[in-house]
Amino acid sequence: MAQLLITGGAGFIGSHTCLVLLEAGHQLLVLDDFSNSSAVALERVAELAGTRLQRAQPTLEAAPDALTLVEGDIRDAQCLEALFASAKAFGLPIQAVIHFAGLKAVGESVQQPLRYWDVNLVGSQRLLRAMDQHNCRTMVFSSSATLYGYPSPEQVPIPETAPIKPINPYGASKHAVEALLADLARCSGAAEAIQASGGGWRIARLRYFNPVGAHPSGRIGEDPNGIPNNLFPFITQVAIGRRPELTVFGDDWPTPDGTGVRDYIHVMDLAEGHREALHSLLRADPQMLTLNLGSGQGASVLDVVKAMEAASQRAIPYRIAPRRPGDAAISVANPSLAAQQLQWQTQRSLTDICRDGWAWQQANPNGYGDGCR
């Protein structure tokens, strides 16, 4: 059992990972500002894990439970300091951080670059400083396949060694955090002092491809704000009747059916990938892992439409429109390094993704509900 800090743990990927980590016996402190999530997600995680959700201030008035939720911002240095110091005072020092908190909408990042750099880079920097000060030097970081920019066809499936060419402020901010983490992993300036204070950095930079689907219970899932930008939640909302039709962005891509191809990964596979990355770091000497988390399988927009029609037994009306600016034709992972380093690979198919995503959408037509953010 380890005491973990999960930033952004109320969000889509964070909530599913919290469940997997609770089931693995870990004790979790979640820090989230609910800018894109609801505490209801964590109440449901607690229910699925057979525990209760404890709410606390950053100063932790009582010893943390299996699942403790603190509302706060990763950019708030005082909040971070209080959290690390209080956990230590209760004899449960934070041993590792899984860092999901951040802003993730590509289009918004083009409109609001300062906000994206502030939350994603400055927030990560403050978090890393608090960790360092408290001799907690193990981090699993949410990076993204968006770092690969527009992969050329000969690079697909994309290995981790592919050129890094972020094409928007979101990708650039993730690239900057990756660079900062690489500098920490290489840091040897004060080797003796670091050794004396608990050792060097253990870091996993996980580059996710397209996380989709939901826990099979239908109790937790993705709950985007407003009109979804991403294909999968848009399709489930068309299937449930919240939106009249899907707009397919281009049928003239150089792909088998002309629509864009992506590597969709079930969010439970992704959550299990985090568990394996964490366990690998906790077992090993200081090191840095940089791994693609994807299935290695490509699916086109029309493949996803067909799979969701089969899962929901409903027609998904769609209309072909011009290509979306900034899109790539194909993005598919080469996930062999993660298989080799973590003994992890995806277990769930596109059919499973659509079955579970549809179960979540059907049981929660309005997500976690209005007014509970």
Q: For residues 239 and 307, what is the distance between their CA atoms, to the nearest angstrom?
A: 12
Residue pair 30/68 in contact (Cβ under 8 Å)? The answer is: yes
The residue number with the shortest CB distance to ligand NAD is 11
Nearer to ligand UDP, 28 or 248 (CB): 248
170 is catalytic: yes
* DSSP state for residue 122 in the 8-state scheme: I
Closest distance of CB 105 from ligand UDP, Å: 10
Q: Which does 166 bind (CB under 5 to 8 A by kind): ligand UDP, ligand NAD, none?
A: none
Q: Which of 170, 208, 264, 368 is catalytic?
A: 170
With both helix axes pointing from N to C terminus, report the angle between 123-133 and 77-89 in degrees, rounded to the nearest 10.
30
Q: Which does 26 bind (CB under 5 to 8 A by kind): ligand NAD, ligand UDP, none?
A: none
Burial of 113 (0-12, 13-18, 19+ CB in 10 A): middle
Site for ligand NAD, rule CB under 6 A: 7-8, 10-14, 31-37, 73-75, 100-104, 119, 123, 142, 144, 208, 211
Q: Build a one-symbol-per-residue string for 252-281: x at contacts with ligand UDP by CB under 6 A, - elsewhere.
A: --------x-x-------------------
Q: Looking at 81-89, 190-198, 229-237, 336-344, which segment touches ligand UDP (CB under 6 A)?
A: 229-237
Closest distance of CB 196 from ligand NAD, Å: 32
Helices (H), the chain: 12-23, 39-49, 77-89, 106-111, 113-117, 123-133, 169-186, 191-196, 231-240, 267-283, 301-312, 336-342, 350-363
Residue pair 10/19 in contact (Cβ under 8 Å)? The answer is: no
Select from 181, 311, 205, 208 the least CA-distant residue to 264. 208
Q: Looking at 97-105, 159-167, 243-251, 285-293, which segment touches ligand UDP (CB under 6 A)?
A: 243-251
Q: Which residues are catalytic?
A: 170
Binding positions for ligand UDP, rule: CB under 6 A: 210, 229-231, 234, 246-249, 260, 262, 301, 324, 327, 331
